[in-house]
Amino acid sequence: MRFRRSAASLQRSDLSPSKGAVRTVNTFVVRRLALIIAATTALVAAPVGANETSVRKTNEGIILLDQGKLSEARAAFTAALRADTSDEDARYYLAHTMILGSDFEKALKILGSRDFEFWDADYLRGIAWMNLGENEKAIASFERSIRRRDSDRARFNLGMLYYQAGDNAKARAQLEATRDGNLSHEDQAYRLLYLGLIDYAEGQQDRARGYFRQVSEDYADTAASELARDMLGEEGGAAAHGEGEAASSPFSAGLRLMVQYDNNVGLVQDNDNVAQIYNRAMTQSPEALRLGVFGNAGVRLGEDEGLQGGLGASLFIGMNGGDADNVSDFNVVQPRVQADIGWSAGNWGIRAPLLASVTMLGPFDDIYRYSTSYGGGLGGWWSPIDMLSVNSDLLIQARVYPRAGERDGTEIGLGLGATVVPIDRLRIQGGWRLTTLAEKQSNSPWGYLENGLHLGATIAATEKFSVSTGLRYAHRGFDGPFTFPDGSGPGRTDDEITASLGFRVQATDLIDVTAGYDYFHQNSVPAFTYTRQIVTLSVGFTF
């Protein structure tokens, strides 16, 4: 007689989340004493026949494995297979010892493509392929293993492999189906760590922090806890001691290059020529090809909870190429500075922003027109459950047009919005905004009240490719004695609809490519109807 031992008792090869490397299997779970006694009995009771040597040598090798004598066990299994090349047990255990000795290519050669009677031969193949970096073959082997018999260790390895391949949905399904009771203490920590990394990649920051905290607190004696503390930004993580990846920096910077086609430049802010511009926008649809450069830099201070603050600056430069009669041939320069301070308490927070910007347009008659805007506000957010976040804000801005005779005014905006993540990879955002503007032009007061609704969604089709779409409607009612050059004045109303579609590809960790289409339609009573379409391509760089 002979007895078998499952390959699932192998400790798995860990895939390091920080480096994507594979750690070699080097431990073996010690068998129960009863199994050793069974093997000893088998040595005496093995049937006499053509395979007697193979049976005895195989059982001998199993006992040697339990005693930790790897080279002696390998020799015994080799002798068993030499005595009977058709002995599946001998072949299986010889491959088993090769994997324990990190000789993965030899293990695969010994196993070959045979369809073994026992399910865990495919598990052994998966371990070998995973350690050789052949992740697709490893996934196929573990999947076959699970189809023959469910295994928590196979599911655990599949979860890590799918994460490495960028398939978060399959990674989550395998890791959530894995029972901790069948994993080692270290494997349990890594299972939770990977679930946190998946949530982090999909924007579920609160849930991700929960996993990272659980790993850092309940599994503090494992290597996974170092990585979890790094993700939390806590002192004592591997990065803090110069190990693994560098700790995340509070500084950020980026650059985006943009090319844009605009089929109806239309309403340019230049009071000297506004009547002409209105007329041409309505009748001739002046086109333009716009080149833009957007740069930004900032610093963010504070932990995930408690006092937070930030300071940032950006600069946009746009160059329009169109007809040269002050309608579509003009440039835009817009520097902007923003600071904010806030407080976060886990699932809710408040934020107070301050901002200032300058917008310069021209040249119009060889002169640049410019305006300034500055203001501040107060906002807050609350996330009652993982899939829902609600936010609101109040923002007050002053607008100043320094040229004599131009207008000054104040804009007040009140917003309420929500973000819902009903399933992985899908994010839906919507909201309402009320805006009121009061201005004076040539000492004549005027203003408007606007109600706006917006709805948008982003679908992450893969880890590197996402699609976004949006729809916005706004109704604006005007008041005051001021008469517009197009003949409209008090009693004028605007209805605007904007639809957008965008695509984003994360080419590398530092480079992304986007493409977008925007359709804008405005109906003004009693003034005019105005339609505009814009196509944008851009490349972004993160530093």
- Taking the model in full, what pTM does it have? 0.55
Q: State whether 298 and 435 are in the same domain.
A: yes
How far is CA 318 from each of CA 19, 200, 283, 288, rounded to the nearest angstrom? 40, 35, 25, 12
Report how many domains make up the chain: 3
* pLDDT of res. 518: 93
* pLDDT of res. 64: 86
Average pLDDT over residues 470-497: 77
At residue 350 the predicted structure's pLDDT band, cuts being 50, 70 and 90, is: very high
Q: Does residue 66 contact residue 35 with C-beta atoms inside 8 Å?
A: yes
Of 25-34, 245-254, 270-279, 322-331, minimum mean pLDDT range: 25-34
264-303 per-position pLDDT tens digit: 765 433 334 444 444 444 444 567 777 889 888 988 777 6
Q: How far apart are CA 137 and CA 204, in angstroms?
A: 31
Q: Is the pLDDT of residue 245 over 60?
A: no
Q: State whether 207 and 174 are in the same domain.
A: no
Average pLDDT over residues 214-243: 70
Residue 84 dihedral angles phi and psi, to the nearest 5°? -150, 100
* pLDDT of res. 543: 77
* pLDDT of res. 430: 95
Average pLDDT over residues 356-382: 80
Please check whether residue 2 lies inside any domain of the structure. no
How far is CA 181 from each of CA 134, 151, 176, 184, rounded to the nearest angstrom? 28, 12, 13, 8
* pLDDT of res. 492: 79
Q: State whether 416 and 442 are in the same domain.
A: yes
* pLDDT of res. 10: 46
Most confident of 107-111, 253-257, 454-458, 477-481: 454-458
Q: State whether 234 and 319 are in the same domain.
A: no
Average pLDDT over residues 88-109: 86
Average pLDDT over residues 487-498: 78
Q: State whether 267 and 308 are in the same domain.
A: yes
* pLDDT of res. 442: 62
* pLDDT of res. 91: 83
In the numeric block, which tokens belong to residue 363?
A: 């040249």
Please check whether residue 220 lies inside any domain of the structure. yes
Q: Is the pLDDT of residue 449 over 70?
A: yes
Please check whether residue 191 lies inside any domain of the structure. no
* pLDDT of res. 496: 93
At residue 516 the predicted structure's pLDDT band, cuts being 50, 70 and 90, is: very high
Q: Where are the beta strands (DSSP E) in 58-165?
A: none
In the numeric block, which tokens belong to residue 112?
A: 């070959």
Share of the chain above pLDDT 70, in %: 74
At residue 482 the predicted structure's pLDDT band, cuts being 50, 70 and 90, is: low
* pLDDT of res. 481: 62
Q: State whether 165 and 237 are in the same domain.
A: no
Q: State whether 112 and 48 are in the same domain.
A: yes
At residue 25 the predicted structure's pLDDT band, cuts being 50, 70 and 90, is: very low
Q: Check whether the bond before 490 is cis (ω within 30° of 0).
A: no
* pLDDT of res. 45: 42
Q: State whether 388 and 529 are in the same domain.
A: yes
At residue 252 the predicted structure's pLDDT band, cuts being 50, 70 and 90, is: confident
Q: Is the pLDDT of residue 365 over 70?
A: no
* pLDDT of res. 95: 85
- Domain range holding 30? 7-183
Q: Is the pLDDT of residue 7 over 80?
A: no
Nearest C-alpha neighbor of 412 from the set 443, 360, 447, 370:
447
Nearest C-alpha neighbor of 124 from the set 50, 176, 110, 520:
110
Q: State whether 177 and 69 are in the same domain.
A: yes
In the numeric block, which tokens belong to residue 542?
A: 């993160």
How many other C-beta atoms lie within 10 A of the C-beta of residue 327?
22
Q: Please tell me which residue, 403 or 152, carries the higher pLDDT value.
A: 152
Q: State whether 153 and 289 are in the same domain.
A: no
Mean pLDDT of the chain: 77
* pLDDT of res. 282: 41
How many other C-beta atoms lie within 10 A of the C-beta of residue 291?
14
395-432 per-position pLDDT tens digit: 898 877 766 455 678 999 999 999 998 887 888 999 99
Nearest C-alpha neighbor of 417 from the set 436, 437, 435, 392:
392
Q: Is the pLDDT of residue 475 over 60?
A: yes
Please check whether residue 412 lies inside any domain of the structure. yes
For residues 454-467, one letter each, b for 16 or more C-beta atoms within 10 angstroms of the residue's C-beta and e for the rest, the string is: bebebebeeeeebe
Q: Is the pLDDT of residue 92 over 80?
A: yes
In the numeric block, which tokens belong to residue 216?
A: 């850092």
Please check whether residue 352 lies inside any domain of the structure. yes
Q: State whether 237 and 316 are in the same domain.
A: no
Last residue of a domain, one of 126, 156, 183: 183
300-326 per-position pLDDT tens digit: 777 667 888 889 898 888 776 655 444
Please check whether residue 93 lies inside any domain of the structure. yes
Please check whether residue 194 lies inside any domain of the structure. no
Q: Does residue 93 contact residue 105 with C-beta atoms inside 8 Å?
A: no
Please check whether residue 189 lies inside any domain of the structure. no
Question: Residue 336: which CATH number?
Answer: 2.40.160.60
Share of the chain above pLDDT 90, in %: 23
Q: Please tell me which residue, 15 or 151, carries the higher pLDDT value.
A: 151
Question: Residue 13: which CATH number?
Answer: 1.25.40.10
Count of CA atoms in the C-beta half-sphere (13 A) of 189 = 23
113-133 per-position pLDDT tens digit: 777 766 678 888 888 999 998
In the numeric block, which tokens belong to residue 225?
A: 């806890």
* pLDDT of res. 148: 85
In the numeric block, which tokens belong to residue 280?
A: 């041409």
* pLDDT of res. 392: 92
Q: Is the pLDDT of residue 55 over 80?
A: yes
Of 102-111, 297-306, 460-469, minimum mean pLDDT range: 297-306
Q: State whether 105 and 222 are in the same domain.
A: no
Last residue of a domain, one of 192, 225, 248: 248
* pLDDT of res. 434: 95
| Radius of gyration of the chain from its Cα atoms, rounded to whole angstroms | 33
